[in-house]
Amino acid sequence: MHFVVTIENTGETFRCGEEDNVLQAMEQLQRRGIPVGCRNGGCGVCKVQVSEGSYTKRKMSRAVISADEEASGCVLACKIYPQSDLRVEVVGKMARAIVAKKSMSFDFGFATATAINQPDEEK
């Protein structure tokens, strides 16, 4: 079964099978929008807020997603599997870079990088 995932920040859409995580589907189809990091639920850069749709999920690092966030649909794109069409908003620590540039260009200097890098608990 395949569903359509829409990234609200950019309007990008792509298909994702129920056995595939959202980040993996995006990468396989050469789509962009959600930052790709470890792909394994540890680093938090692929954090999204699901505004519409249902999904199943696998274990995510509590260092980057609190229990409250997880319960309210703020999850890691690399750890969710769609059960319906999904609308997601990128909210991870690199979200500002996406909105500003619409593409992931990363020849920023160190100062910019550290600004983007504030962990959520320090925001």
Partner 1 sequence: MALTGVLRPGHVALRVLEMGPALKHYKDVLGLIETARDDKGRVFLKAWDEHDHHSVVLRETDEAGMDYMGWKVASVATLKKLATDIEQSGLCTDLGWVPAGEHPTTGERFRFTIPTGHVMELFAEKGIVGNNCGTDGENINPNPWPDGLQGISPSRFDHCLLYGDDLDGTVKLFTEVLGFGLAEQVMAGEDKSFMIGAFLSCSNKAHDVAFIRQPVKGKFHHASFELGSWEKVLHAGDVLSRNHTSIDIGPTRHGITRGETIYFFDPSGNRNEVFSGGYIYYPDRPTITWWDVELGPAIFYHDRKLNEAFLSVFT
Give residues in contact with partner 1 (CB under 8 A). Answer: 35-43, 45, 59-64, 93-94, 104, 106-107, 109-110, 113-114, 116-119, 122
Structural tokens at position 40: 């394994």
Structural tokens at position 2: 């395949």
Are the CB atoms for 41 and 59 separated by under 8 Å? yes
The amino acid sitting at 22 is V
Comparison of 67 and 111: residue with beta carbon closer to ligand FES: 67
Comparison of 109 and 116: residue with beta carbon closer to ligand FES: 116
Structural tokens at position 35: 């930052």
Which of the ranges 10-18, 39-47, 83-91, 113-121 carries the binding residues for ligand FES, by CB under 6 A? 39-47
- What region, left, alpha or beta, does residue 11 occupy, with left being phi > 0 and alpha being psi -120 to 50 degrees? left
Comparison of 34 and 53: residue with beta carbon closer to ligand FES: 34
25 interacts with, out of ligand FES, partner 1, none, CB within 5 to 8 A per kind:
none
